[in-house]
Structure 1
Amino acid sequence: MTLDEKLKALRDKLDENRSKVPGLKTEIRGLVEKAETEEELKAAQAKRSALEKLNEEIRKDEATEALYVEAIEGNPVPAQRHNENNANQELRNSINAFIRSKGKKTEGLTFRDNEVVVPGEMLRAGETPTAGITSTDAEPVIPVAVSYSPQRELQTVIDLKQFANVFAATTASGKYPMLKNVKAVLNSVAELEENPDLIKPDFDKVDWEVQTYRGAIPLSQESIDDAEIDLIGIVAENANQQKLNTTNQAIAGVLKTFTAKTTATLDDLKHIINVDIDPAYTKALVTSQSYYNWLDTLKDGNGRYLMQDSIISPSGKTVLGMPVFVVADTTFGAAGEAHAFIGDVKRAVLFANRADITITWAKNEIYGQYLQVATRFDAEAADKQAGFFLTQSDSPKQ
């Protein structure tokens, strides 16, 4: 076989191997996305190893291709240089084996004072030959761990909608009747006396009007194909987090409109619980981080902390018999501000839920996909007697 024929055969092989790379990448991504067990993950890792071997083979063939081209163009590699390159390559392989085996494989190496001797010609230009190998010398063969699964920054996120009075809105606006707390009593009557009239139920009407919140993000098909992870899934998760932040902001805005009170001492908080809020309401605390920190430091007369762990409380924490839910400081105000809502959140907030949508569709004009999220709702104050908006003050009342 002539050199030209060898070059053609090598290039055909290179074209074939290069064409396999995109398919292997797609296959690896699919296996990683679907992996639920250790065996399935191992299958993905095996494919990854196969891809690395294929890329290594391509690199070697490309080096051979360059050698063939150099020879065909009339600049063949001198035999002496070729022999030196082979010797250096063998030494490099021995050094690689020494490093990967953590010093166990020493074949083909020369030692001086327990250090590997590296010929000067193998060092980078401008460096002084030294005995031994540093991490800088071995940099080309030291593996770098790369994680393709981004970790989301942890945030204090709780869905406030779960505490509100949520109903499915079928129109863009309307009125919602809220039955006031019943305070009337039955009258005492004598035998066979005609029944007195009952006091009629008293209703409040809450006006609501749905607002639309939406957004979209385009994703190129190339980014979807080439990503090592489920890019669409990550973007969708981020979009849903934005929806949650939107509903939380609306509900927190409603809670902040309730009658304001200041708590500087434990007695202030007890007075609100015992006197200011009607005992008919189901009381809970939704606190900012800073207000929670104040609650967590409250002690009784015997020096015992009032905040308690509870297996029956939805939040896992109670204080003075009430469940405590924590949101970020910025939900109720600015960072460092101590605020809370105390009362019956379900009676306090009416949430008209009209639509909640997350969709994707292909758009041929951009060779990509659009991810759209939309939510339509309104949050309004319902029963204004259901609670109070608290601010913690460092200065006790006089």
Structure 2
Amino acid sequence: MKKSDLIRANIENLKEEAKELVNKTDATLEDLNAIDNKIAVEEKKLEIQLKNEAKERAAASEGATNLPEATAGVTEENKIDNKERNRVLALAICGKASQSDLAKISNLLQEGEDSKGGLLVPPDIKTKIIELQRKQFDIRKYVKIEPTKVQKGSRPKQKNEPQASGFASVDEGAEIQALHEPEIEPVEYAIRKYSGYIPITNELLDDSPENILAFVIDWMSKNELNTYAYQIFNGSGLKAAEGILNSIKTGGKLETRVVKLETAPTLKDFKRILNLNLEEVESDNIKIFTNGSGYSYIDELEDGFGRPLLQPDVTKESGYAFLGKEAVKVPTKFLKQVVLDDVEYTPYIIGDLELLYTMYDRDDLLIETTTVGGTAWRTGTTEVKGTFRFDGKINGDIKSVVVMLAKHEATSAIQNYSRANSAKNVSIALQSVVNDNKEAMEKLTEAIVTALGSTKETSNDV
């Protein structure tokens, strides 16, 4: 028996212990975290051991090629580099790889469903996919990612919170009072398979293997990211990931975290949410997610001096900040307008998604091809199917986010905001001039011009 088999057996035993522990009424968070950590350690050991065993097999195979005439036909040509491997991979995708070619990538061959073969995407191809994805919207940057190698699992979650008073003041030698007992519940996840296919035409099949592979990589990178983003925002939770927008509906996990406005949001609305609704969330981790409509709105907001409130900020992943918080523009095809009672609202998801949402990732991409299945045999094409697996759960602290739904009224709210602040800034600037400040005098002049312009606009409106 290989060492990896022993580690697998140990993992199964630990999982059985974890199941028994979950069913115990006196199980503590520390106990559950301890067994969970043990499983994680053993899974990491298994991952490393499997790599070591693969290296040992490769070394044994390489050693065989160095034997004298007894191993005739096995030469240095049998070694395969990434370039040759990728060429063979492209040929395999097209169904043009010979048996000798397939032997070169035997470590990538996987048994698919219904006895259909598949190709596991190698690490360097994954790297190319990741490089392409950096240029696109990637929701994974903002949620918690938990790698997993199992199809189903659970994680302990504390339902209640520590009392605000914390520990009680106790005299020396006096009896110490009991703290409230933490309530633990298991949060289960089940990895789902996500697949899609495209037909590859004969014209593309006649292209070079490098171009074929580039085409498939581009297709995989875009569709993988689209799937993650769409599911995390719109997933039904039934045989799919849990979606944030679906969870704000009646009975949803985030129903109580919705703030609905029948007007366009003001600066005070944003500040009220940041200061009151999210007061326990680390300020630096709060982000504002909105779609094209919402982003355009905050992009037009200005202070009393005509300066935009949405400012470039190189310290933020998106490159922009609003009220000091990272502003993230989510494509509208993922973060759609919300319709309630035939009224359309623009969503603003404000908070720390990493505390709210966990994505359980199998981290395996599989490519399968056919020339006889589906409609491929009728159209004379090759169908390429991409498959990957993950699950997404709203299993964190729901108090870490607020979903603000606002009804936009064109730009009238923006104009009203600017007018109100113009008059206010005239007063502020006058106060500064008392101190004989040259810079304040310049600001006063600018504020007066702005205020007069706003007054003129108001009179024209009348």
Q: With structure 2 as the length reference, what TM-score do the two structures score?
A: 0.46
Cα displacement string for residues 20-67 of structure 1 (whole angstroms, at most 9, x for unaligned residues): xxxxxxxxxx9xx99xxxxxxxxxxxxxxxxxxxxxxxxxxxxxxxxx
Matched, 1:288 2:291: yes
Distance 1:255 1:236, change over 3 A: same
> What is the letter of the counterpart of residue 359 of structure 1?
I
Letter of the 1:163 counterpart: Y
Q: Distance in 2 between matches of 1:288 and 1:297?
A: 14
- Partners of 2:189 and 2:135 lie apart in 1 by 29
Q: Measured at CA, do residues 246 and 309 of structure 1 come closer, stay the same or move farther in structure 2, by a change above 3 Å?
A: same
Report how many aligned residue pairs link the two structures: 247
**Within 1, Cα distance between the matches of 2:404 and 2:382?**
46
Deviation at 1:289, TM superposition (A): 1.3
SS at match of 1:236: helix
3-state SS in 1 of match to 2:206? helix
In the superposition, relative to structure 1, how do residues 334 and 229 fare at CA in structure 2: closer, same or farther (>3 Å)?
farther
1:218-297 matched pairs, under 5 angstroms: 218-219=199-200, 223-226=204-207, 230-253=211-234, 254-256=243-245, 257=247, 258=254, 259-261=257-259, 262=261, 264-281=265-282, 282-297=285-300
Change in 2 beyond 3 A, CA 1:203/1:269 = farther
Q: How does 1:1-398 map to 2 (within 5 A)?
A: 157-179=136-158, 182-184=162-164, 185-219=166-200, 223-226=204-207, 230-253=211-234, 254-256=243-245, 257=247, 258=254, 259-261=257-259, 262=261, 264-281=265-282, 282-334=285-337, 338-359=346-367, 371-382=384-395, 383-394=397-408
> Conserved in 2, the CA contact under 8 Å of 1:213 and 1:376?
yes
Counterpart residue identity of residue 260, structure 1 = V
In the alignment, is the contact (CA less than 8 A) between 1:332 and 1:340 conserved in 2?
no
Cα distance 1:170–1:278, how it changes in 2: closer, same or farther (>3 A)?
Answer: farther
Greater Cα offset, 220-229 or 324-333: 220-229
Whether the 8 Å CA contact 2:370–2:384 is kept in 1: the answer is: no
2:73 alignment counterpart? none
Cα contact 2:364–2:389 (8 A) shared by 1: yes
Q: How many angstroms apart in 2 are the aligned matches of 1:242 and 1:277?
A: 34
SS in structure 2 at match of 1:351: strand
- CA deviations on 1:347-398 (whole Å, 9 max, x unpaired) are 12121223431436687998986643112122121232221222232357xx
Deviations 1:172-191 (A, max 9, x none): 33333234654541211223
Distance 1:192 1:353, change over 3 A: same
CA spacing shift, 1:246–1:364, aligned 2, 3 Å: closer
Deviation at 1:248, TM superposition (A): 0.5
Distance 1:330 1:219, change over 3 A: closer
% same residue: 22
Residue identity opposite 2:213 in structure 1:
I
Q: 1:280 to 1:199 in 2, by over 3 A?
A: farther
Per-residue deviation at 1:236?
2.5
Distance in 1 between residues matched to 2:323 and 2:389, nearest whole Å: 37
2:150 & 2:392 partners in 1: Cα distance? 15
Query: Between Structure 1 and Structure 2, whose CA radius of gyration is higher?
Result: 1
Q: Secondary structure at the match of 1:329?
A: coil
Structure 2: gaps of 5 or more residues: 1-82, 88-132, 235-242, 248-253, 339-343, 414-462
Residue by residue over 1:319-345, the C-alpha shift from the partner in whole angstroms, topping out at 9 and shown as x without a partner, is: 112111111122121599632211110
3-state SS, counterpart of residue 332 of structure 1:
coil
* Deviation, structure 1 residue 245: 0.5
Distance (Å, rounded) in 1 between the aligned partners of 2:306 and 2:202: 62
Contact 1:360 1:369 in 2 (8 A): no
Question: Is residue 240–residue 373 contact of structure 1 (8 Å, CA) maintained in 2?
Answer: no
| Post-superposition offset of 1:283 | 1.4
Gaps of 5+ in 1: 1-29, 35-153
Structure 1 residue matching 2:194: 3-state secondary structure: strand
SS at match of 1:338: strand
Change (3 A) 1:278 1:245: same
Q: 1:210 to 1:368 in 2, by over 3 A?
A: same
